[in-house]
């Protein structure tokens, strides 16, 4: 049996999106910037996809900038905003549990003279509003806080942060990486109070190579690439129309199925947790009360690389942390200040609309076998 429980890394492209991607690549291959009929057809497909993504996000089409994915969108949001806000302050706020595309961007800002405050998460993986309130300063120019943590599923109080920015009459822009939240939990940029929101196709059964940045109307960004002026001058380069068309279709369908899929994921999450508690009483469930799609669980005292390799040999795909870390230790779990044996034995299990209870049964049985056959690491 093959069980794919690594959907926070990437999801299977759904048939409807794959069909549109192939059709667009084969038949509607014009450059959307070209003035002839083939170009106009491609431009029409591009704008239809923009409308689908905007509707799924609760935005207007003119506020959607297509990118190659979440990483590029995050970079455009942070560097683009700060380049446009020169002179508005040199202080920025983020968390110590961000995706690497945010974390490494802020490290670069720090090396360039920006004063960076890293909010520490609690044992659930969330940052708190009192900590944010204490960190906010008159010279804060930008706040970037992930909405749903990509490793433990914790949901941060981004809306509360926006309210605090308004209460203090702060001029700081608010950005959130919503890649793991888009079409999975209920939110809109307006409900969050965020000026900049990152989303991606391949987390919602669309293809890799397509993402988007919501830029609230009136917010100014400096472009990161220069060229032909595509995407309102914010992201030069010919758009990947086939991938974007598939993104639009995946977003349209995922938005229509959001509540149904979330309910199914929640039942699967609780079922898996119950099985683990029954069959592996020594296991530690790290994530609680967050996204139903992401479950972080640990076999304390074991090496998570050995666990992952054992499971792979049994046909189960999970991960140690974010796929972008390529097996490195999790900075998220370190920031949560978990005991070393818990952090070192942690794996991430993540579900999708295709995940089943039968797969959960198989996964937990194989995880129990791992605990029986692998040796604990002596420290």
Q: Mean of the pLDDT values across residues 263-274? A: 98
Closest of 26, 163, 171, 152 to residue 91, by C-alpha: 171
Q: What is the pLDDT of residues 139-191, one digit of tens each?
A: 999 999 999 999 999 999 999 999 999 999 999 999 999 999 999 999 999 99
pLDDT, position 329: 78
Cα three-residue angle 302-306-307, rounded to 5 degrees: 70
Structure tokens at 236: 């030069």
Share of the chain above pLDDT 70, in %: 97
Q: What is the pLDDT of residues 108-125, one digit of tens each?
A: 999 999 999 999 999 999
pLDDT, position 158: 98
Residue ranges of the chain assigned to CATH 3.40.640.10:
15-253
Strands 115-119 and 91-95 come out as parallel
Chain centre distance of CA 352: 14
Q: Output the average pLDDT for the chain.
A: 95
Q: Mean of the pLDDT values across residues 39-68? A: 98
Rounded Cα gap, residues 279 and 276, in angstroms: 5
Higher pLDDT, 195 or 320: 195
Unique residue bearing structure tokens 């994915």: 69
Cα three-residue angle 268-355-312, rounded to 5 degrees: 110
Closest of 166, 190, 246, 164 to residue 176, by C-alpha: 190
Closest of 325, 319, 327 to residue 351, by C-alpha: 319
Rounded Cα gap, residues 240 and 248, in angstroms: 12
Burial of 53 by CB count in 10 Å (0-12 exposed, 13-18 middle, 19+ buried)?
buried
67 φ/ψ angles, rounded to the nearest 5 degrees: -135, -175
Rounded Cα gap, residues 334 and 109, in angstroms: 22
pLDDT at 217 over 90: yes
Q: Mean of the pLDDT values across residues 194-222? A: 97
Active site residue 317: no
pTM, two decimals, is 0.95
User: What's the fold here for domain 3-11+258-373?
Assistant: 3.90.1150
pLDDT band at 320 (very low <50, low <70, confident <90, very high): confident
Residue ranges of the chain assigned to CATH 3.90.1150.10:
3-11+258-373
pLDDT, position 328: 65
User: What's the fold here for domain 15-253?
Assistant: 3.40.640
Q: Mean of the pLDDT values across residues 22-44? A: 96
Q: What is the pLDDT of residues 321-377, one digit of tens each?
A: 654 545 567 999 999 999 999 999 999 999 999 999 999 999 999 999 999 999 776
Rounded Cα gap, residues 378 and 337, in angstroms: 20
Rounded Cα gap, residues 185 and 253, in angstroms: 14
DSSP 133-202: HHH--TTEEEEE--SB-TTT--B--HHHHHHHHHHTT---EEEEE-TTTTTTS---HHHHT-SEEEEEST
pLDDT band at 87 (very low <50, low <70, confident <90, very high): confident
Rounded Cα gap, residues 269 and 302, in angstroms: 23
Among the listed residues 183, 226, 317, 324, the single catalytic one is 324
pLDDT, position 326: 55
Name which of 61-70, 299-308, 322-331 the model is least confident about: 322-331
Rounded Cα gap, residues 265 and 359, in angstroms: 13
């Amino acid at each position: 049996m093959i069980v794919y429980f690594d959907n926070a890394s990437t999801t299977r492209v759904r048939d409807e999106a794959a069909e549109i991607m192939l059709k667009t690549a084969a038949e509607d291959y014009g450059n959307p910037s070209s003035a002839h009929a083939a170009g106009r057809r491609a431009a029409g497909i591009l704008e239809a996809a923009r409308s689908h993504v905007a509707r799924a996000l609760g935005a207007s089409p003119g506020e959607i900038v297509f990118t190659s994915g979440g990483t590029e969108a995050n970079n455009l949001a942070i560097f683009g905003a700060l380049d446009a806000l020169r002179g508005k302050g040199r202080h920025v706020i983020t968390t110590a549990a961000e995706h690497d595309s945010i974390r490494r961007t802020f490290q670069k800002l720090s090396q360039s003279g920006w004063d960076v405050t890293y909010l520490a998460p609690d044992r659930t993986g969330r940052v708190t509003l009192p900590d944010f309130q204490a960190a906010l300063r008159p010279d804060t120019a930008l706040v970037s806080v992930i909405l749903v943590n990509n490793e433990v599923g914790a949901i941060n109080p981004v809306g509360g942060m926006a309210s605090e920015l308004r209460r203090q009459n702060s001029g700081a822009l608010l950005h959130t990486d919503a890649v793991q939240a888009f079409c999975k939990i209920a939110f809109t940029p307006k409900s969050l109070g965020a000026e900049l929101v990152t989303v991606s196709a391949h987390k919602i059964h669309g293809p890799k190579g397509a993402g988007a940045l919501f830029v609230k109307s009136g917010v100014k960004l400096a472009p990161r690439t220069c060229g032909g002026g595509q995407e309102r001058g914010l992201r030069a380069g010919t758009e990947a129309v086939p991938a974007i068309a598939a993104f639009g279709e995946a977003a349209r369908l995922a938005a229509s199925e959001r509540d149904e899929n979330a309910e199914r994921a929640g039942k699967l999450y609780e079922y898996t947790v119950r099985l683990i508690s029954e069959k592996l009483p020594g296991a530690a469930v790290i994530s609680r009360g967050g996204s139903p799609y992401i479950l972080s669980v640990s076999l304390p005292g074991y090496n998570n690389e050995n666990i992952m390799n054992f499971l792979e040999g049994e046909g189960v795909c999970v991960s140690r942390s974010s796929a972008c870390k390529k097996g490195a230790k999790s900075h998220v779990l370190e920031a949560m200040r978990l005991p070393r044996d818990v952090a070192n034995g942690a794996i991430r299990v993540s579900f999708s609309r295709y995940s089943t209870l039968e797969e959960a049964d198989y996964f937990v049985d194989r995880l129990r076998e791992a605990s029986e056959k692998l040796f604990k690491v002596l420290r």
